[in-house]
Amino acid sequence: MQNITRSLKNKEKISILFVCLGNICRSPAAQGIMQHLVDTEGLSGQFAIDSAGTYGGHAGELPDKRMRVHAARRGYSLEHRSRPVSESDFYDFDLIVAMDDSNYDTLRCLSPDTDGQDKVVRMASFCRMHPYYDAVPDPYYEGASGFELVLDLLEDACRGLLDELSGK
């Protein structure tokens, strides 16, 4: 277990920000899956879940149509509007979850202080069924299988993250 998740175990409400590049594929899907998981388990009141991108070029947009279609087939409705990461996110959130190494490095550079840097973790580190992945790969230039892989990895990592935060 990572130090940052251990330190959150007894917190009344935990805020999580999922981050990718554009905030239209991976991170809004992670947000939707995690929200669905906590809602299903009656834990909605104990979590605040959001997502953002390190690149602001898609700000205001709904998730990519391909991501919405693939997610809907698994029962997730993605309605988040893309937004860029802001400095206040490093104070407002307990945990900032990066989809890949590039997002991770960018987030640590953007953080105003070391407390914020310590909140940045890798999504793939919570995967249990897919231990050989160290990142959730960018599906933007991939076909349908790329989006399905992203959803497989995100479902696995969200389960792992929730279990870790619940002390399971």
Nearer to ligand 4NP, 89 or 165 (CB): 89
**Contact with ligand 4NP (CB under 6 A) among 50, 89, 94, 138:** 138
Active site residue 108: no
- Report d(CA 141, CA 108) in Å as an integer: 26
**Catalytic pick from 122, 138, 158, 159?**
138
20 annotated active-site: yes
Minimum CB separation of residue 138 from ligand 4NP in Å reads: 5
Instruction: By CB under 6 A, tell whether 50 contacts ligand 4NP.
Output: no
Residues 17-36 that bind ligand 4NP (CB under 6 A): 20-26
Contact status: 140 vs ligand 4NP (CB under 6 A): yes
User: How many chain residues bind ligand 4NP (CB under 6 A)?
Assistant: 10
Q: What strand order describes the sheet that includes 95-98?
A: 47-53, 14-20, 95-98, 120-122
- d(C-alpha 147, C-alpha 163), whole Å: 24
135 binds ligand 4NP (CB under 6 A): no
Nearest approach, Cβ of 101 to ligand 4NP (angstroms)? Answer: 13
Between 8 and 155, CB nearer to ligand 4NP = 155
Residues 76-115 that bind ligand 4NP (CB under 6 A): none
Tell whether the torsion through CA atoms of 50, 146, 104 and 156 is positive or negative: positive
Task: Judge whether 138 counts as a catalytic residue.
Answer: yes
Q: CB neighbours of 92 closer than 8 A, spacing ≥ 6?
A: 15, 17
Q: Any idea which residue has 């990718």 for tokens? A: 20
Binding interface with ligand 4NP (CB under 6 A) = 20-26, 57, 138, 140
Catalytic residues: 20, 26, 138
